[in-house]
Amino acid sequence: MLNKKKILVTGGAGFLGSHLCRRLIDQGHDVICVDNFFTGDKSNIIDLLDNKRFELMRHDVTFPLYVEVNEIYNLACPASPIHYQHDPVQTTKTSVHGAINMLGLAKRTGAKIFQASTSEVYGDPIIHPQVESYWGNVNPIGDRSCYDEGKRCAETLFFDYKKQHDVNIKVARIFNTYGPNMHPDDGRVVSNFIMQALQNKDITLYGQGTQTRSFCYVSDLIDAFLLFMDTPKEVSGPINLGNPVEFTIRELAEKVIALTGSSSKITFAPLPNDDPKQRQPDISLAKKALNWEPKIHLEEGLIKTINYFDNIIKNS
């Protein structure tokens, strides 16, 4: 293959990482998948294990890693609030020490490096929709801070390695994404609602369900990752990546019930601390810099995701 690369994907056994590894392998590249299996699972990449261009390494990115690669996608970090709040110190270490180690690796090898940052850098945003120039509204000492501030510090490190060491960085601020390979017990809203609906259990709406999110289907997001990595060196971001169509969480619950034909009832549970009230990406920059916008509508993506979880339940 022309232009075959050796590519490191950290967090490669997780939801997004497993889709990314598969796409890179399909393109003919060599992939090193690094994961400590905190939230990821071998089952997400089971079909890749026999591929001679795919290598799986159990490793924690808070420790140094010496491999020779051309590109790095740094995705290692638990993304669901229940998981990242389970061991908040480790979450901050993963974002901050992980970024330092991966940036050190990029500096030494000259590899391009992509950072999976997040819409959480905007906290509970006052500017709506969120543009990249907005600095955010983040509580530095709350339940979500280990994730939000860890990711903010990682962004700082990325831009300082660029300024100080001329590292070729690509920083993406990812908004809520869903699809197959989300862990059934992941705790995020799409997997929770679908698993509950398929089993005719109560749908747990936190708060009144008036808070909003904008949901991107995973294949659209992976398209954007690849396009971003291929941009010229001067394109570093941060760039928002997500689907700008905004829904209330209640609307999401109703859609999932309708699409599954479930007899589940909606129940109300307390809203978690610091839960952002609204979130919607402004993707003007992504449209311009990457010539990209999401193609998959929520219903279409939900049907694919429902089929995935339905199979998991049937085979369990």
Q: Identify the residue among 116, 146, 195, 249 touching ligand NAD (CB under 6 A).
A: 116
Q: Counting every residue, how long is the chain?
A: 316
Distance CA 175, CA 279 (A): 8
Pairing of strands 6-10, 30-35: parallel
Find, among 65, 17, 64, 66, the residue nearest to 38 by Cα.
Answer: 17
Q: Within positions 258 to 287, which residues make up the interface with ligand UDP, using CB under 6 A?
A: 271-272, 275
User: Which stretch in 18-26, 40-48, 60-68, 88-96 sits in contact with ligand UDP by CB under 6 A?
Assistant: 60-68
Distance CA 228, CA 30 (A): 19
Q: Identify the residue among 8, 33, 39, 114 touching ligand NAD (CB under 6 A).
A: 39
Query: Do 84 and 146 contact (CB within 8 A), yes or no?
Result: yes
CA atoms lying within 13 Å on the CB side of residue 251? 12
Q: Identify the residue among 9, 189, 222, 241 touching ligand UDP (CB under 6 A).
A: 189
Query: Which one of ligand UDP, ligand NAD, none is in contact with 53 (Cβ closer than 5 to 8 A by kind)?
Result: none
Over the window 75 to 94, marking each residue x when it contacts ligand NAD by CB under 6 A and - when it does not, the resulting string is xxxxx--------------x
User: Which stretch in 59-67, 191-199, 270-278, 299-307 sits in contact with ligand NAD by CB under 6 A?
Assistant: 59-67
Contacts of 213 (CB under 8 A, 6+ apart): 175, 176, 189, 246, 247, 249, 252, 279
Binding flag, residue 184, ligand UDP (CB under 6 A): no
Q: How far is CA 140 from CA 77, 143, 149, 261, in A?
A: 18, 9, 7, 42
Binding flag, residue 64, ligand UDP (CB under 6 A): yes
Catalytic residue flag (residue 217): no
Binding flag, residue 14, ligand NAD (CB under 6 A): yes
Q: Identify the residue among 4, 108, 163, 288 touching ligand UDP (CB under 6 A).
A: 108
Report cis status (omega within 30 of 0) of the bond before 125: no
Binding flag, residue 125, ligand NAD (CB under 6 A): no
Query: Which one of ligand UDP, ligand NAD, none is in contact with 194 (Cβ closer than 5 to 8 A by kind)?
Result: none
Pairing of strands 212-214, 71-74: unpaired
Query: Do 151 and 159 contact (CB within 8 A), yes or no?
Result: no
Bridge partners (DSSP) of residue 204 are 267
Q: Identify the residue among 26, 66, 263, 291 touching ligand UDP (CB under 6 A).
A: 66
For residue 41 the two structure tokens come to 């699972």
Q: Which candidate in 122, 147, 161, 178 is catalytic?
A: 147
Binding flag, residue 81, ligand UDP (CB under 6 A): yes
Over the window 138 to 177, marking each residue x when it contacts ligand NAD by CB under 6 A and - when it does not, the resulting string is ------------------------------------x-xx
Q: Report phi then psi at 178, rounded to 5.
A: -140, 165
Supply the residues annotated as catalytic: 147
Query: Which residues contribute to the site for ligand NAD (CB under 6 A)?
Result: 10-11, 13-17, 34-40, 60-62, 75-79, 94, 98, 116, 118, 174, 176-177
